[in-house]
Amino acid sequence: MVVTLSDMLRNAARRWPDEPAYAYVSRTLTWAEVDRRVDALAAALQARGVKPGQVVGSLTRDGPVMVELVYAAARIGAVRAGLNYRMAAGEIGTILQHCACSLVYVEDAYASLVPALPGLKVLSAGDGQQDLGQYADDLAHHAGRPVAEVRHEIAQYCYTTGSTGRPKAAVWTHQAIDYAIAHSLMDFGFRHDDVWLHTFPGAGTPIVLAIWNVLKGFKTVVMPGFEPALALDLMQQHGVTRVLLVPTMLNALCEEQKVRPRQVDSVRCITYGSAPTPPALIRRAAATFSNAVFEQVYGATEGCGGFFAKLSAEDHARALSGSEKMLESCGMATPHAIVRVLRDDGTPCEVNEVGEISVQGGFIMQGYLDEPELSANALRHNAYMTGDMGRMDEKGYIYLVDRKQFMIITGGYNVYPIEVENAVSAHPDILEVCVFGVPDTHWGEIVHAAIVQRPGSDLTQEQVLAWSRDRLAKFKIPKSIEFRDALLRGATGKIQKRAERDRYINQLASA
């Protein structure tokens, strides 16, 4: 019998009923209180007709609605799908239709992003933090009512976007999430008395970071969205001991702490990932958070929230003592993962030979929802093939050399150029567009668009941006735009994206 996230919550409520589980903007809830609220929400979902295997979703900032719906869906055998309010309305509509979502709680500020779809119940979640609208009414009306608990193998459809340019849903099982959480917490050395600051948008993969406290019982402080000043205030207020950040967040915290210092001595470990981090930033962060050690992690949506590799605190200490090259590595395989570098035919690469990173372990997704060809391609060679090109040295340290061909990592978000190209090229005055990432000191990379206009048009950059804002999530909108007479092409006429990127970067360097 599968052990679900609901079962884990029941156990936590029995073991630590009166201890703090979640601290939100307005209040702190104990494990027993969370369990009772989840019971009420589960009963409400059943009363509204949600059946086992059906999909329920939330479109809110991080907070009680997002967290409690994960557990409530598990309690009645439903499948949770998170929706990111940073997405455009068209993207959200596509996801809702793709997974046949039956019910979604929506923060009022984002109600305009949800289209009217047959069979979809749209309910208000108020401000998503304190005044919870119909969500609060459901909790109050069904408080104490019995719940017909149902276990279901699938926990979540976690949406990511790939090189096809359309959303795809990684199918996460309860067993895979349990495996990912348990091994990650053990490897990272989490304790029951830790206080975790949740900083990432929990619509997608980071939802695991918001609920992994269920296995150890530590308090999780949930930010509605990352703001450096608020993050430091919460660290001081709650005595935060651990946090996971992307480099842009870490840099922003250092800047804010310089302006108005807080008491952050409680922070004992800072984990970071998603983009390479310059040694200078790590040194600066180490001076800012003087009691903290640092870890870097590497993972993917297809890993159900688990991490494949880690550059440990000891590795960081060695790097900062003179071996800074080590900071270019994403570390060694975690104890619960098998990480190899493979050639196209599936044979293992030699030491330092570049190939595709493959991962095996109990945390790997089942596949992509209704995408048999994409699933088969991702899960070939009896492993999850990440699409990341890299090498492994003689000691087992992994170095990434090309992130999924041309994937752009900007501020911790993954952006695939084809998504942006599809949206921008739909403009009637645009003939061709080539999108690629350009290095940026603040964001890591920014989205750049090289555009060829149709003859006779006089398109401006602002018009392109206005067009993009209506069709793309904010982090996908190009931050720089150039107009070109023609794009570089190969012998077959195909646009040479790598050549275009190299041309532009060289142009910047010589300016």
pLDDT tops 70 at residue 403:
no
Q: What is the mean pLDDT of residues 351-370?
A: 95
pLDDT tops 50 at residue 146:
yes
pLDDT tops 90 at residue 291:
yes
Tokens of 302: 């297809």
Q: At 494, is the pLDDT very low, low, confident or very high (cuts 50, 70, 90)?
A: low
What is the rounded distance in angstroms from the CA atom of residue 483 to the CA atom of residue 460?
9
pLDDT tops 60 at residue 142:
yes
For 47-88, how does the pLDDT look when each residue is reduced to its tens digit (9 = 90+)? Answer: 999 999 999 999 999 999 999 999 999 999 999 999 999 888
Helix (H, G, I), strand (E, B) or coil at 336: coil
The residue whose two tokens read 């091994």 is 183
Residue with more model confidence, 204 or 279: 204
Mean pLDDT (the chain, rounded): 92
Closest to 149 in 3D by CA, of 1, 304, 366, 305: 1
Q: What is the mean pLDDT of residues 140-153?
A: 95
The tally of CA atoms less than 13 A away on the side-chain side of residue 179 is 19
What is the rounded distance in angstroms from the CA atom of residue 35 to the CA atom of residue 19?
12
Tokens of 177: 């999430």
Burial of 151 (0-12, 13-18, 19+ CB in 10 A): middle
Q: At 164, is the pLDDT very low, low, confident or very high (cuts 50, 70, 90)?
A: very low
pLDDT tops 50 at residue 485:
yes
Point out the least confidently predicted range of 179-193, 246-260, 329-343: 246-260
User: Looking at domain 5-18+26-172, which of 3.30.70.1400, 2.60.260.20, 3.40.50.980, 1.10.287.990 is its CATH number?
Assistant: 3.40.50.980
What is the rounded distance in angstroms from the CA atom of residue 483 to the CA atom of residue 430?
10
pLDDT (0 to 100) of residue 197: 98
pLDDT (0 to 100) of residue 492: 43
Q: What is the mean pLDDT of residues 238-253?
A: 91
Q: What are phi and psi of 391, to 5 degrees?
A: -140, 160
pLDDT (0 to 100) of residue 309: 96
pLDDT tops 90 at residue 511:
no
pLDDT (0 to 100) of residue 402: 56
Closest to 380 in 3D by CA, of 351, 407, 331, 347: 347
pLDDT tops 70 at residue 275:
no
Q: What is the mean pLDDT of residues 214-232?
A: 97
pLDDT (0 to 100) of residue 161: 58
Helix (H, G, I), strand (E, B) or coil at 10: helix
What is the rounded distance in angstroms from the CA atom of residue 295 to the CA atom of residue 301?
20
- Domain ranges, ordered by start, for the chain: 5-18+26-172, 408-510
Q: CATH fold of 408-510, please?
A: GMP Synthetase; Chain A, domain 3 (3.30.300)
What is the rounded distance in angstroms from the CA atom of residue 228 to the CA atom of residue 254?
9
pLDDT (0 to 100) of residue 347: 96
Q: Is the distance from CB of 399 to CB of 325 less than 8 angstroms? A: no
The contacts of residue 53 (CB under 8 Å, 6+ apart) are 77, 78, 79, 152, 154
For 13-54, how does the pLDDT look when each residue is reduced to its tens digit (9 = 90+)? Answer: 999 999 999 999 889 999 999 999 999 999 999 999 999 999
Point out the least confidently predicted range of 126-140, 417-431, 481-495: 481-495
Burial pattern 156-189, b for ≥16 Cβ within 10 A else e, equals: bbbbbbbeeebbbbbbbbbbbbbbbbbbbbebbe
pLDDT (0 to 100) of residue 491: 44
Q: Is the distance from CB of 192 to CB of 217 less than 8 angstroms? A: yes
